[in-house]
Amino acid sequence: MPYLPSHHDPVVASEKATHTHSTSSDTASNAGTFAYAANSAFQRSIYQKCEPYLPDLEGLKTITIVDYGCGPGQNWTYGLDLLLLRADEDVQYQIILNDGLKTDWNEVAQVVHGYRVGQRGHQHGHFAVLPGTFYDQIMPDQTVDVGTAWSSFHWLEKTPPPMDIPPDENYYTAWQAHIRSQGLTDLTKLLRLRAREIKPGGHLLVVIPTTPASSVKVYWEAFQQASLSCLTDGTITPEQWRAFRAPFFQPTEDDLRQILATVQDLWHLPMPWSYPTLAHPAWTALQGSEKTQQDYEEYVDGIAGFFMALIRDVLVRALRGGEVTSAERPAPNEEAILQQATTSFREAILSDGLRNKRPESCWLVMRLVREHGAKMSEAKANL
């Protein structure tokens, strides 16, 4: 059994966000109170469920891994540790960290540095960063042994067009129906692109949030309440309300079947996917507490931190009428609106209707194996 190559504790600690003033300098990145890196313990707790899906890498002398959408923060290191446990002790590996241009690459570099310093054992790592969209081919043909998409392939290629629904309609359900066709196209495209890059017999691990039939969407219910309250009290205009467009596709199992049927010449599933449903760690901590006011405050810090880190950029865009602008830093008046939205979100989470509902999400975990027989021309078709 190889050494764990770093000393990151695989037990997920609950991360605390505060609801004080943000110092964000780049909303697409990692600075500020609702920084993704400081609020992504939930994602990491899901990755713990992925162990049965990891490929066997024994016998390989060198491995090339690409982490598609690595994000700022530590989560990719946890995924890498899991993979390296499946590899030989003396393996040489390279990991290519990909994310969009606006990610905080300084932060990524710091995490790389910390990881290398913490390395033990004989496994020898080489690190590279690769800024750019994963909706392009970003690696040469058939050069990758393992691709990982930890909570990233649900991001659509482009922000979808607005939908026209009344503010009281269930936003989440209406929005997922609205973007379904683009979501199917985009996820299929990602699998075709990765089929070019990943070697025959190589692996693609995909872990993304999905649309469960039964799960309680506490975050979205709270967000809907919060945005309605901001609309009613004039914090945001009806145009800004309508401009909120989350570019996240959360496929149902039927959607997945459809996508996988389209790419069946390129990929197969060595084992069935799973659909674990998990509660946010802050909820688990609350259940183990005495449920004092302070405990609820800490709980709502965790939930608001997580959710606002996910949607902050989308909110800023909505405040600007949905336009993506080069100056992403929120202006002081926008910052004040974000604070108001956060306050309303926190109130909604603690409201009688929601405070005792389990905030959970359902995740797809699947490993795809690149078919041996598939020709590159098939992988390149229909893109």
Q: Output the residue with the shortest Cβ distance to ligand SAM.
A: 71
* Contact status: 75 vs ligand SAM (CB under 6 A): yes
Closer by beta carbon to ligand SAM, 308 or else 354: 308
99, 107, 186, 360: which one contacts ligand SAM (CB under 6 A)?
99
DSSP assigned state of 274: B
Closer by beta carbon to ligand SAM, 76 or else 267: 76
34, 42, 115, 155: which one contacts ligand SAM (CB under 6 A)?
155
* Contact status: 70 vs ligand SAM (CB under 6 A): yes
* Contact status: 151 vs ligand SAM (CB under 6 A): yes
- For the bound state, the minimum distance from the C-beta of residue 26 to ligand SAM, rounded and expressed in Å, comes to 11
Per CB under 6 A, contacts with ligand SAM among 301-330 are: none
Environment class of 85 (CB within 10 Å of its CB; exposed 0-12, middle 13-18, buried 19+): middle
39, 77, 103, 344: which one contacts ligand SAM (CB under 6 A)?
103
Closer by beta carbon to ligand SAM, 236 or else 368: 368
Write the Ramachandran bin of 205: left for phi over 0, alpha for psi from -120 to 50, otherwise beta. beta
- Nearest-angstrom CA–CA distance, 340 and 257: 41
Contact 228, 137 (CB under 8 A): no
- For the bound state, the minimum distance from the C-beta of residue 6 to ligand SAM, rounded and expressed in Å, comes to 16
Signed CA dihedral, 18, 20, 25, 26: sign only: positive
Contact 259, 191 (CB under 8 A): yes
- Nearest-angstrom CA–CA distance, 108 and 103: 8
277-279 and 92-99 strand pairing? unpaired
- Nearest-angstrom CA–CA distance, 276 and 361: 8
- For the bound state, the minimum distance from the C-beta of residue 306 to ligand SAM, rounded and expressed in Å, comes to 10
Stretch that binds ligand SAM, among 18-26, 131-139, 170-178, 345-353 (CB under 6 A): 131-139
Closer by beta carbon to ligand SAM, 33 or else 98: 98
Residues paired with residue 367 on neighbouring β-strands, in sequence order? 205
24, 43, 211, 344: which one contacts ligand SAM (CB under 6 A)?
43
Closer by beta carbon to ligand SAM, 76 or else 171: 76
- For the bound state, the minimum distance from the C-beta of residue 37 to ligand SAM, rounded and expressed in Å, comes to 8
Q: Which residues does 176 contact at the CB level (< 8 Å), separation at least 6?
A: 183, 211, 249, 250
- Nearest-angstrom CA–CA distance, 195 and 146: 11
- For the bound state, the minimum distance from the C-beta of residue 197 to ligand SAM, rounded and expressed in Å, comes to 14
Only one residue has tokens 């996820």, namely: 187
22, 27, 39, 152: which one contacts ligand SAM (CB under 6 A)?
152
Q: Which residues bind ligand SAM (CB under 6 A)?
A: 40, 43, 69-71, 73, 75-76, 98-100, 103, 133-135, 150-152, 155
